[in-house]
Amino acid sequence: MRCFTKVVWLAFLVVLVVSTTSLFSDAQTYGVLYSFVPRAGTNPTAGLSMDQAGNLYGTASQGGLISYGSVYRLSHKGSSWVFQPLYSFLGGSDGAKPTARVIFGPDGALYGTTSQGGGSGCGGKGCGTVFILRPPPHPAPSVFGNWTITILYRFQGGNDGANPGYGDLIFDSSGNLYGTTVNGGTSGAGTIFKLAPSGGGWTESVLYSFTGGSNGGNPYSGVVLDKSGSLYGTTVNGGAADGGVVYKLVPSEGSWTESVLYSFTGGADGGLPYGGVIFDGLGNLYGGTSAYGTGGGGTVYMLSPSESGWTPTVLFGFANPGSGTTVGPWSSLIMDPAGRLYGTTSRDGNDGYGSVFRLTPSSAGVWSYISLHDFAGGGDGQQPIGSVILDAKGNIYGTTFAGGGNNWGLVWEIAP
């Protein structure tokens, strides 16, 4: 890596917007903001975060200086965007393969996870880390921005958990962090963990270990908090029919109790919920499944609370073009102020390379579906796995795992 010249590295730092092309009948415009190259990071599995200035931050699961992934930023420069890698993982004690988003903490720093690295466990690949990235006090031009990494926790692969997945971390009002691991725990089926600041460091505690049975197993997504401090999320496996579950974790006198709100059957309701859940203002939960359903390609669902439990409603079913089992959403949905849902699918669309969609509710309780973009698998990208975000102007941003000018994935924008 040391043989790269300064000129080559500068090419990574000044990659601007590719010209956009109008692709939609409702006057929306799709554009590629950046196509990844190996030394800057490749194959993003996560979506993006946005700061108050409108700059975008994300992770690349592979590539970087030694091919263990990176954290990057896309900044406005006039009407264009400038790409800058902020940190390249080394695959050792700092971690490797970040598959989830980075989020902003109360201190303005970036917090995230790596799915591997951090030690020698988990078959020698390491069991993952939780990290903070902070900008330098006096920014100066450099290849990877001189951001400083601090490791909050290194998973050991035992009862403490192993391999954080696609799910975001989340803070509570006291500054504690919550997240999930896909594997590890007392039964090896994943955990929900908490990291609490303590004496200048952080202390990890496991709130719950999944068994892989009726209570669920292998949570790829993160958790969300309600006003009472309870946690909600999904597991991709386990449940009554082994199609995954939506669960709730309630704190009580220093311990936590899990209850299954819904078990997917693998029938019309779908199954394999890799993505998590979100709340609306009425306390309903929304999410997506990646497989099964009436069309065989997964579903978008709603769970409504009542005195007798939670009532499931399938809002939309995706078709399976025959390109694999998991077609529907792999990540959590988002909701705009009008109550419309947005998300991505990994393999459906006109060409089977995935899509960006919107679901709009009506007063009659019917949801109308529109594809905002069907990926063609070439320069426009393919296989969007991560979630999307919206800015105040209604622009939508996201990533694709593959495709783009270099076939290593890209960052895209849809403008209204």
- The predicted pLDDT at position 26 comes to 54
Residue-level pLDDT at 146: 78
Alpha-carbon distance of 241 to 299, in angstroms, equals: 17
What pLDDT was estimated at residue 254? 83
Tokens of 341: 């849902």
Q: Which residues contact 138 (CB under 8 A, 6 or more apart)?
A: none
Compute CA distances 53 → 56, 57, 70, 113, 392, whole Å.
9, 12, 22, 24, 11
The encoded tokens of residue 386 equal 């991560």
The C-alpha atoms of residue 149 and residue 302 are separated, in whole angstroms, by 39
| Torsion from C-alpha of 105, 250, 160, 245, nearest 10 degrees | -100
Per-residue confidence (pLDDT) for residue 113, from 0 to 100: 98
Calculate the dihedral angle through the C-alpha atoms of 62, 64, 65, 70, rounding to the nearest 10 degrees: -100
Tokens of 43: 């194959």
Phi, psi angles (nearest 5°) of residue 21: -130, 130
Residue ranges, the chain, pLDDT below 50: 1-25
For 202, other C-beta atoms within 10 Å of its C-beta total 18
Tokens of 229: 């401090």
Quote the CA–CA distance of 339 and 358 in Å, as a whole number. 11
pLDDT in tens, 158-206: 999 999 999 999 999 999 999 999 999 999 999 999 999 998 899 999 9
* Contact (CB, 8 A) for 268 and 284: no
Query: pLDDT tens, 312-371?
Result: 999 999 999 876 678 999 999 999 999 999 999 999 899 999 999 999 999 888 999 999
Nearest of 256, 273, 277 to residue 265 by alpha carbon: 273
Tokens of 250: 């309630």
Contact 186, 180 (CB under 8 A): no
Tally Cβ neighbours within 10 Å of residue 167. 29
d(CA 411, CA 44): 9
DSSP code for 169: P
Residue 2's pLDDT is 34
Helix or strand (DSSP H, E) at 10: helix 6-13
Show the 3-state SS of 343-383. Answer: EEECCCCCCCCCEEEEEEECCCCCEEEEEEEECCCCCCCEC
The reported pTM is 0.92
pLDDT of residue 323: 63
pLDDT at 90: 95
> What does 19-69 look like in DSSP terms, one character per residue?
PPEE--TTS-EEEEEEE--GGG-B---S--EE-TT--EEEEESB-STTSS-
Q: The tokens of 222 are what?
A: 């993160």
Helices of type H across 201-308: none
> Which pLDDT value is given to residue 328?
94
| Torsion angle of the four alpha carbons 366, 372, 377, 380, in this order, in degrees rounded to the nearest 10 | -160
Candidates 311, 264, 312; CA nearest to 292 is: 264
Name the 3-class secondary structure at 115: coil
In this predicted structure, what is the pLDDT of residue 253?
84
Whose tokens are 């997917």? That residue is 264
